[in-house]
Amino acid sequence: EKNLPLLFLVEDNAYGISMPTRETNPLALNVLEPDNWRRIEGQNVQQVYDATAAAFEKIRADGGPFFFWINMERLSSHTSSDDQKLYRNEQELRELEKFDPLKCWKDQLIEEGLITAEDFARLDSEIRERIRREYTEAEKAEDPSPNELLANVTKPSPKIEKEILPPGKYRIGDTVNKTLRLGLEEDRGRILFGEDIEDPKGGVFRLTQKLSTAFPKQVFNSPLAESTILGVACGLAAYGKRPVFELQFIDFIYPGFNQLVTNISTLRWRSSGNWKCPAVIYAPYGAYLPGGSLWHSQANESALAHYPGLNIVIPSTPADAAGLLWTAMHCEDPVIFLIPKHLLWAEHEYAEPIPAVPLGRARQCRSGSDVTVVAWGNTIEKSLEAIAKINNETTIELIDLRSIVPWDKAAIEESVRKTRRLVVVQEDTENCSVGQMIISHVTSTPELWDEMISPPILVSKANVVIGYNPIYEYAALPDVERIVAAIRHSVSTRHERPVVAGIGDSRRPAKQREYVQPGSTIPATTEIGKRRMQSITVPVMGEGIRNAKVVSLLKKTGDPVALDDELCEVETDKAVYPIQSSFAGVMGEWKTKVGDTVDIGQELGTLFTDEASLADQFETAEVSAKRKPVEAAESAAEPGDADRGRHARRYSIEPALSPTVTRKLSRVISANLQIDARWDAIREARELAKKKDLENAPSPSVMMAWAVVRAMEKHGPFRRLILENDQIVQNDDFDLGIAVALEGDRLATAVITNANRKSWPEFVKTYDETVAATRGGRVDAMNAPVVITSLGAFGVKAGAPIVVPPSVGTLVGS
C-alpha cells in the first residue's frame, strides 16, 4: 500500500522440531501468493548476497517491499535435548553436510582461488580459540547480584510540573483529543496509529477527530490487525519514536498479546536497560453501556496488570484523563491507558487549570472516617451514587485508585489506618483481580490487620463475561445497591476475623436483579381515569452518550399516535436519533422544547392510551382482522389498522417470573389446601419469651418456622425434593426456606441449611442472620423442600402459592 522499505526473510529449515513442514508451510499451501516470493537456496551464499543487494537497491528507490523464501537445511538437532536420528533417516543425515552454507562457501572460495585450504584451517583455528577464551572469561566472570533483579523492569514515572489545559467545561472525550493534539504539536516523533483514526471518522469514539488533517505525517490508519498495531508500536518505540496507538476496544487486545507481553513489556528488562519501549496503547474499556456484549464491554485490567513491565492507568474524570495521558506520553516505558467508555461524555467543570498527573498516585474523592471505599473507572460513578444514597448514615472515604500499575499503597494504607474498614469496588472479574490484590496486601500487613475491626469486602463483577442482553450486563456488574449493602455490612460488623468476604459469593448463584434503565426514575405508566398516561423518555443511545439536544417535536397535543410513530428527534455528537412510540394512543403534553438539552432517561412528554400494556397491543395486532381495532383514547384519534402491529418492533418487558422459574413451574401440579391454625400456643410462647429475654425475645416468625421444621420431621412427604430429572427424593436432613421481601416489590429466599439439626438457640441465631444476609444482597442455593411466606401484613386472607422446584410446597401465612 505504501511501498514500505522492507525486506521480509523466511528461513525454511523444513522441520518443526520433528515434524516435516516443506509440504505444509503457507507457501506450499498457496496461502501466500507465490508470485510475490522469490525462492533462494540458503547454502548458496553468493546467491543470497546478490539477491539481497539487488533488493536493497530497488527498496531504496521506493520499490519495496520484497519477500524472500530461503531454503535452509537444519544441520543439527533442534536442541541439546532433541535427537534428530529418531525422525530423520541415515541417508538424509549423511547428506546434511552438502547443505552447510559455511562449507559450501569455503569450497567455492578455494575452488575460485580466493583462499587456500591452509588459510581456511588457520582462520578456523583462530576463531575456535577465540570462542574458547570467551567461554573461559564468562566462567570466571562475577555472578550477577540478586539485588539487580528488579533494576530494569520499569523506570519511575516522570515528574512533570505542567498545566495541560485551561479551566473550563470538559468531557473525557474532549480532554483526550486535546491532549493528543498537544502531544503531536510538542514532538514530531510522536505517532498516532489505529483503526479508523484518520478523518473524517476520527476513531469510533471520535477521540482523534481533526488530528490527521492537522498532522498528516503523524496520524495514520492501521490495518485491522491488533498484532500489527502492537508490533509496529514496539518497533517505533525501540528506535526512538513516541507511538501513541489506539485499539478500538481493549477487548481486541488479545490477538496482539504476544507482542504485548513478550516484546513490549520485557524489552527494557531483557536488554538490561539498553533498550526501552516508550509506547502508549489507549483503548475504550468497560461496560455499563448495554449492547456492547462480549467483545466491546469487558474490563480486563487484572489480566494486563499480571505482566511486569507494563504501566496501567484508568481515569474516571476529564482532568485525570488529560493528566494521566500527558504523563503516559512522557514515560520511558509502555503505558496501557484505559478509557471507561460509559464516562466518555460526562461533563465536568473545572475552575483551575488541569495539571499532569503522576503515575502511581491515587486521588481522594471524599473524606471520611467510618469506612474506606477504593474504586476506579466506571465504579467511581457507582460508588458516588451509593454514597449519596447512604447520605449522612455514615462517613465514607472514597479513593479513586486511577493508577493500577504502579498503585498507591501508601494512600490506601493511610486511609485504612484511619477508618479500620475497607470496601473495594471493581468492574473486572473476581478471580485473580486487582481488588483481591489490594485486599491481600492490606490483610497481610500485620499493623493494618491488627487495627481492622471488620473484614475487607470485595464488590466485583461475577466470574462471567458481559452478555448480549442488558439484563445480563447489569446483573453481572456492581451496582449501587450492592455497594450500599457492602458499606452497611462493613460498618455493622466488628471484631471478626473471617476470610475476606464478598458480595455475591462465587459459590452461590449470582443474584438476579431487576433491570432498570439507567437514569430513569419516572414511572412508565400512570392511570388517569380509564386511560393510561405513558411517559416518553430519552432512551439509552450507547457509546457513553449522556445527553442530547431536542431538534424537533413531530407530534402535537391531541395528535393520534400509532406504534413506532416518530414523536421527536434528538441530536448527539454522533447523529440525529428519532424517538419512536412504544404505544398507540393520543399525544399528551410535551415537557421540553426544541433546543433543550435533555439527559438520558429524562421525561420528554406524555402519551395517553387505552391499552392495558404494550403486550396487549401486540396481542391485539396478532388476532384475526375480524376483531375490531382498539378505540382511540380521544375522538380526535383515528382508529388503528388491525394489522398495524403485525410487523412492528417488539419491545421486551421483563416478566415477574424469570424464564427459569416459569420452566420449572411446568413440572408441578398445583394443589392448594387452606387450614385455620390456632394461634394461642404461639402467642403464649411469645409472651413468656418477652418476659424472659425482653427485647431479645425471638419473633413469632421464628417460632412458626421452628414448629414447621418439627412438623417436617414428623411427616416425610414434606422433606422431599424434585430434582432436575423429575426424580423425587426424600431426605432425613433438610433445609427450610423463608421468603424475604426486598425493595422494589422483589422477593428472595433465605435458606436455613440443615434446619432440623439445629438446637433452639442455634436455630434462632441462624434464622436472624440468614434473613439479614438475604436482605443485604446474599443469594443462597435453593434446596429447601418447603418455603414459608407471610402475607398477613398486606391484608391477604388466603392465597394460591407458587411452588418452584426443587421445593414441594409453600406455606402461606395470613
Cβ-defined contacts of 229-232 (< 8 Å, 24+): 229/193, 229/194, 229/195, 229/256, 230/256, 230/259, 230/260, 230/263, 230/264, 230/281, 231/256, 231/259, 231/263, 232/193
What single-letter DSSP state applies at residue 232? Answer: H
The rounded Cα 454 to chain-centroid distance in angstroms is: 28
Burial of 733 per CB tally in 10 Å (0-12, 13-18, 19+): exposed
Phi-psi region of 450 (alpha: psi -120 to 50; beta: other; left: phi over 0): alpha
| Strand 66-71 versus strand 7-12 pairing type | parallel
The rounded Cα 421 to chain-centroid distance in angstroms is: 26
Q: Read off the C-alpha cell for 800.
A: 394460591
The C-alpha atoms of residue 111 and residue 41 are separated, in whole angstroms, by: 20
Q: Read off the C-alpha cell for 810.
A: 409453600
- The secondary structure of the chain in percent helix, strand, coil, rounded to multiples of 5, reads 35, 20, 45
Compute CA distances 445 → 409, 453, 622, whole Å: 11, 14, 66
Fill in the amino acid letter for 32.
L
How many Cβ atoms from other residues are within 10 Å of residue 62's Cβ?
10
Give the CB-side neighbour count of residue 400, counting CA atoms within 13 A: 22
The C-alpha atoms of residue 155 and residue 492 are separated, in whole angstroms, by: 43
3-state secondary structure of 568: strand
Contact criterion met (CB below 8 Å) for 233 and 243: yes
The C-alpha atoms of residue 291 and residue 541 are separated, in whole angstroms, by: 10
* Helix ranges (DSSP H) in 220-310: 226-238, 257-258, 267-270, 301-305
Contact criterion met (CB below 8 Å) for 190 and 244: yes
Contact criterion met (CB below 8 Å) for 584 and 611: yes
Contact criterion met (CB below 8 Å) for 99 and 73: yes
The C-alpha atoms of residue 374 and residue 383 are separated, in whole angstroms, by: 9
The C-alpha atoms of residue 263 and residue 272 are separated, in whole angstroms, by: 14
Cβ-defined contacts of 34-38 (< 8 Å, 24+): 36/67, 37/10, 37/67, 37/68, 37/69, 38/66, 38/67, 38/68, 38/69
Contact criterion met (CB below 8 Å) for 411 and 375: no
Q: Which residues contact 485 (CB under 8 A, 6 or more apart)?
A: 503, 776, 777
The C-alpha atoms of residue 188 and residue 714 are separated, in whole angstroms, by: 85
The C-alpha atoms of residue 323 and residue 346 are separated, in whole angstroms, by: 17
Determine which one of 78, 296, 306, 441 is catalytic: 296
Compute CA distances 244 → 177, 219, 233, 285, 364, whole Å: 12, 10, 8, 17, 29
What single-letter DSSP state applies at residue 70? Answer: E
The C-alpha atoms of residue 379 and residue 297 are separated, in whole angstroms, by: 14
CA nearest to 452, candidates 407, 488, 411, 500: 500
How many Cβ atoms from other residues are within 10 Å of residue 532's Cβ?
20
Q: What's the length of the chain? A: 814
Whether 296 is catalytic is yes
Residues designated catalytic: 296
